[in-house]
Amino acid sequence: NEEKPRAITGACGIDVGWRLMEDGSLRVAYLAGDDGHHEELRLPAQLVTAWDKMRSIQSDRDDDFNAIIVRLVEWKQQQATEPPEWFADAAKCVGQWKSKGRLGRLVDQWSENRIPGDDEIMTELQAWRHQDVHLWQWQVDGERKAQRQRLDLYRVFAHRVSQRYGEIFVEDFDLRAIQRDRKPDDNTADAGAKEYMRTACLSTLIGLLKQKKAVEVES
C-alpha cells in the first residue's frame, strides 16, 4: 500500500524523555497539538519487563564470569610446578580479564593442550562456557525481539503524527550531555534511570521523527 501524503497544515510539539508509570509502562514522549490533541507514547509494561529480563541475564553472566575467574586464579596459585609456556602466555594477568570471549578462547586452546591435574578446573571451565553460551543466545534473541517491537511502536507513532500535522517540533534532547553531566554518586528519583534510558532509546524515536521532517527545538 502506498503511504498517504503528509499533512500540510497543523503543528505539534513533542517532548521526549523517560518516566516509569504506575502500570509498569515507560512513557517516552508527550505530544501536544495546536488542534487541542494530546497523547502519550508509552512502551508497554510487557516490553519494559522484557528489557529488564535481558539486563538480568547479563548480570548473571557477569557474576558467573567473575566467579570462574576467581576459581581459575586460585587453581593457578595452587600449582606446584610451572605451567607450560603456552599457558603462561595465554593466561597472563587472567585475574584482570573482563572479556568472556577471551576466556572462551583460552578454554578452547586448553582443551587441545591438557595439563596434568587439570581435570577439575577444566570441568568447571567447560560448564561455565556451556552455560554462558546458552545465556548469551537467550539474551541476544530476547534483545532482538524487544528491539523490533520498540521500533514498530516508534514507526507507527512517527507515521501517525506526520499524517496529522504539517509541522512537527521535537525537543532537542542531548543524551550525551545527560550522561556527561551525571555525577558518579548522582542518585535520581528512579534508581533504574540509566536502564530506562537505554530501554527508551530516544535517539531512535527522534531519528524516525526527523525522517518525517520534524524540527528539533531547544527545550
Q: What average pLDDT does range 139-161 have in this prediction?
A: 97
Return the SS3 of 81. Answer: coil
Distance of CA 41 to the CA centre of its chain: 20
Q: Tell me the pLDDT tens digit for each residue of 84-108.
A: 999 999 999 999 999 999 999 999 9
Residue 185 has pLDDT above 50, yes or no: no
pTM of the model: 0.83
**Residue 63: Cβ within 10 Å count:** 10
Q: Tell me the pLDDT tens digit for each residue of 25-84.
A: 999 999 999 999 999 999 999 999 999 999 999 999 999 999 999 999 999 999 999 999
| First vs last C-alpha separation in the chain | 37
**Residue 27: Cβ within 10 Å count:** 16
- CA dihedral sign of residues 51, 56, 57, 61: positive
Residue 107 corresponds to which cell in the numbers above? 578454554
Residue 115 has pLDDT above 80, yes or no: yes
